[in-house]
Amino acid sequence: MIPARTWPAFRRWFTGHARARLRQAFGAVRVLGLEPARALAQERPLLVVANHQAWWDPLVALVLSDALGTDGQAMMDARNLRRLPFFRLVGAFGVDLDDPRDGALVLRYAARQLSSPGRLVWVFPQGAERPGGLRPLGFVAGSAVLARLAPQAAVLPVGVRYVFGPREHPDLVVSIGAPVPGAGRGEEQRRAQEAAVEAELDRIDALLAAGGEVAVPALLQRRPDRLGAWAEAALARLAGWWLRG
């Protein structure tokens, strides 16, 4: 395994960088359920389980961990962490997905991180990026084992959607659900976590289908491109004049 080597100063800078990247790439980053999750983080450590769809997901995890007011860490494929080692400085730790012994070691390490309120570990139980509409999501067992090893932690399901619509830039919509009941063990817990994340994705889809995405609070909002809007309006007027002529 590859342990995290968090460097607080670098983490603060990189979180700001990640926030700026998201604001630049997306029309808005909208989050459902942020306040209840933030309150829960003051009472218990959080094990976050989320779907894994895009390259952006680690930056989303970092920015949301900060928004929740937590000292967050995230499990990452060791191959990617070796390629992008700076993620260790912001709290990522690596697991060799092809070595079960390494997986067991990493789960014990992750459980130790969930030692007190305000601590958070983010896991993508699909293990790799997969299409957002895929059903079932295909969770593997690691996060269920981690829930057993860290029973003090609340297991929060998170659904993440990248939404293309009528505007130039897509929206990023995140839904944080209520804690997954911890009574189940093994396969029962794995299924419960997977179903809970699917329910959050369905919640987003239902909201979008009803046209209610603007009702979701925006954590980040892209600044209007006033120069670009002016240029497009001028071009439209010019083209209209030319076509009428």
Tens digit of each residue's pLDDT (9 = 90 or more) over 233-244: 666 676 667 667
pLDDT digits (tens, 9 = 90+) for 74-126: 999 999 999 999 999 999 999 887 887 888 999 999 999 999 999 999 999 99
Average pLDDT estimate for 12-28 = 94
pLDDT digits (tens, 9 = 90+) for 152-211: 999 999 999 998 877 788 999 999 999 998 756 789 999 999 999 999 999 999 988 887
Q: Tell me the sheet residues that pair with 47.
A: 121, 155
Query: Against a cut of 0.85, is the pTM above it?
Result: yes
CATH of the domain at 28: 3.40.1130.10
Q: Is the residue at 119 inside a domain?
A: yes
Q: Is the residue at 2 inside a domain?
A: no
Q: Is the residue at 178 inside a domain?
A: yes
Q: Is the residue at 1 inside a domain?
A: no
Q: Is the residue at 224 inside a domain?
A: yes
